[in-house]
Amino acid sequence: MNTKTVPKLTLFPLTAEVNKQGHLVIGGCDVVDLAEEFGTPLYLFDESTLRHRCREFRDEFCKYYPDTLVIYASKAFLNRALALIFKEEGLGLDVVSGGELSIAHSVDFPLDKVYFHGNNKTLEELNLALDLI
């Protein structure tokens, strides 16, 4: 594929390129093709960029504060694929619902790195949390 690099703006993932048709390509996937197949709006997550940012945050914080655990706020967005990436990259998870807790549990996220907090928990959510510890 004849591609050229997109100017390095923080808006774009690290793998962003423009192909010979002038289409944005992220992670080797033509965004126009993805939009045609799945419709819009379409949310794309570039695994290479996510992993790079996880390492960057973890390494920079731990350089100055060695006992730091970088924690992702799951309420921003969480699915099994993201939870696995965060687990593999050594991050923690901030979860506020039974659904987020269930996703963490479904990928065997280490519970000593899962922080379940906040108010307005149902009895079922509290029982789930207690059952998992």
Query: What is the residue type of 30?
Result: D
Say if CB 17 and CB 5 are below 8 A apart. Answer: yes
Predicted local distance difference test score (pLDDT) of residue 123 = 83
Please state, in angstroms and rounded to a whole number, the distance separating the CA atoms of residues 104 and 44: 21
Predicted local distance difference test score (pLDDT) of residue 1 = 56
Predicted local distance difference test score (pLDDT) of residue 8 = 61
What predicted TM-score, i.e. pTM, was given to this entire model? 0.83
pLDDT in tens, 17-47: 999 999 999 999 999 999 999 999 999 999 9
Which domains are assigned to the chain? 3-38 (no CATH), 47-132 (3.20.20.10)
Where the chain has pLDDT below 70, the residues are: 1-9
Q: Tell me the DSSP string of the chain.
A: --EEEPP--TTS-TT-EEETTS-EEETTEEHHHHHHHH-SS-----HHHHHHHHHHHHHHHHHH-TT---EEEGGG---HHHHHHHHHTT-EEEE-SHHHHHHHHHTT--GGGEEE--S---HHHHHHHHHH-
Axis-axis angle for helices 80-88, 98-106 (nearest 10): 60
Predicted local distance difference test score (pLDDT) of residue 4 = 64
Predicted local distance difference test score (pLDDT) of residue 6 = 56
Which two three-digit tokens encode residue 131?
């059952």
